């Protein structure tokens, strides 16, 4: 059985996308579905490659028993052929992903969407970047992502 592959993408891959990845992995574990998926995250920018997620996001997630273990990486052309779903956190990153895809000779294998297309509780069209705000912004982003990630899983189940 072929695994479903999902890539979450934000700007630097240290706040939103690693949190979405960890939430999705936790949800898959809870539902006994983890073996059927390949899950990763990436950033459209290269500033933080190799770094752990922002400590404020890791702490906020740990309070919810969610462990963010990934290291930042940048999205590559290869990702368009390796992932079934590429999910952007906001409009700017969505456009950056589409621009990268247009510049490459990739297939249409990956379905590129915005994570907020799968929201049910929150009205935000984008997942706000908590990086320059206070600690409460990280909790708010986790709330938004828990809603959207749940909706995404339901849409593909």
Catalytic residue numbers, as ranges:
10, 16, 129
Are 88 and 152 contacting, i.e. CB atoms less than 8 angstroms apart?
no
CA-CA distance, 89 to 72, in Å (whole number)?
Answer: 15
Transcribe 54-73 into DSSP letters.
PHHHHHHHHTTT-----B--
Q: Whole-angstrom Cα distance, residue 28 to residue 154?
A: 11
CA–CA separation, 87 and 115 (whole Å): 5
């Amino acid at each position: 059985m072929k695994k479903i592959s999902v890539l979450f993408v934000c700007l630097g891959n240290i706040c939103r996308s690693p949190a979405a990845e960890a939430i999705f992995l936790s949800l898959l574990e809870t539902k006994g579905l983890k073996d059927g998926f390949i899950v990763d995250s990436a950033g459209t920018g290269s500033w933080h490659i190799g770094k752990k997620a922002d400590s404020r996001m890791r702490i906020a997630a740990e309070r919810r028993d969610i462990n963010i273990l990934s290291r930042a990486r940048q999205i590559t052309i290869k990702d368009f052929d390796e992932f079934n779903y590429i999910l952007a956190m906001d409009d700017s990153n969505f456009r950056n992903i589409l621009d990268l895809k247009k510049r490459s000779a990739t297939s249409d294998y990956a379905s590129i969407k915005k994570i907020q297309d799968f929201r049910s509780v929150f009205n935000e069209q984008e997942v706000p970047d908590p990086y320059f705000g206070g600690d409460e912004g990280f909790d708010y982003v986790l709330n938004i992502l828990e809603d959207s990630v749940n909706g995404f899983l339901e849409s593909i189940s």
